[in-house]
Amino acid sequence: MQGGFVAHIIGAYGGLRESMRREMARKVGEEHLLALVSYGSFVVFLSFLPRLFATDLRANPDQSIAAGVTVWFFAVMFFFPLVLYGIAALSHLIAKRFGAKGPYFNARHALFWMLAVLSPVLIVKAMLASVVMQIGGGWTPVLLGVLNLLLLLAILRIWGAFLAEAEGFRSTARVTLGIAGVLAAVYLLLYLVAG
């Protein structure tokens, strides 16, 4: 890949569907997808470190930051990829119901490439959240909520474009709305079950 991995990630923002098209044209194997999901999971781990370090140890003096980091690392690096494989399978099954033409491999590729392309956004969001938490004040929950909403919109936009290209859909907007609808339904279901 000319320009390197980071250049390819940054270049994806210039044309999301074209980026996914180039990724699929490379005819990569499962080992490439495993590398993408490992890279993305590690960035997710790094993006949560500021929140772990911002924990108020005075409230719970038995809490160890090292233990929290270790548990979080294990959860993200080993269980998060399994969850992502499940999400990719579900997205592929739903897309098939609406006439998708791509194989399950493409759905995985779209999700894992989205996580890699999202990595600069995750790092910037983590840095901004760290600053917001350090400043504190009454606006902290609101500002963190805004950052989370912007992150969700970025996920929907990038994943919608990649999944549309991977599954052979013409409309990115419809795929993005479909993903948003499924996520909203899952959230509502979890909210109702939690009571």
**Interior/surface letters 88-123, b for 16+ CB within 10 angstroms, e for the rest:** beebbebbeeeebebebbbbbbbbbbbbbbbbbbbe
How many C-beta atoms surround the C-beta of residue 19 within 10 A?
A: 21
- CA 17, distance to chain mean position in Å, is 17
| pLDDT tens digits in sequence order for the chain, 195 residues long | 456 788 888 888 888 889 888 888 888 888 999 999 999 999 999 888 877 766 655 555 556 677 777 888 888 899 999 999 999 998 898 888 888 888 889 899 999 999 999 999 999 888 888 887 777 778 778 888 888 899 889 988 999 999 999 988 888 888 888 888 888 887 888 778 876
Rounded Cα distance between 86 and 79, Å, is 11
3-state class (DSSP) for residue 22: helix
Say what the pTM is: 0.84
Query: Using CA atoms, how far apart are residues 123 and 114, in angstroms rounded to an integer?
Result: 14
Helices (H), the chain: 4-12, 16-25, 30-53, 65-74, 80-97, 104-135, 140-167, 172-194
Decide: 47 and 76 in contact? Cβ < 8 Å: no
Please say whether the beta carbons of 143 and 119 come within 8 A: no
Q: Where in the chain does DSSP place strands (E)?
A: none
pLDDT of residue 4: 79
Angle between helices 172-194 and 140-167 (to 10 degrees): 130
Confirm if 104 and 176 have CB atoms less than 8 A apart: no
Six-digit token pair at 42?
A: 């590690």
The pLDDT, as a whole number, for residue 193 is 82
Q: What is the pLDDT of residue 1?
A: 47
Domain boundaries, the chain: 4-194
Residue 117 is predicted with a pLDDT of 93
- Give the pLDDT score at 108: 92
- What integer pLDDT is reported at residue 60 of this predicted model? 59
Nearest by Cα to 85 from 12, 23, 33: 33
Predicted pLDDT of residue 81: 92
User: Alpha-carbon distance 155 to 10, whole Å?
Assistant: 15
The DSSP letter of residue 170 is S
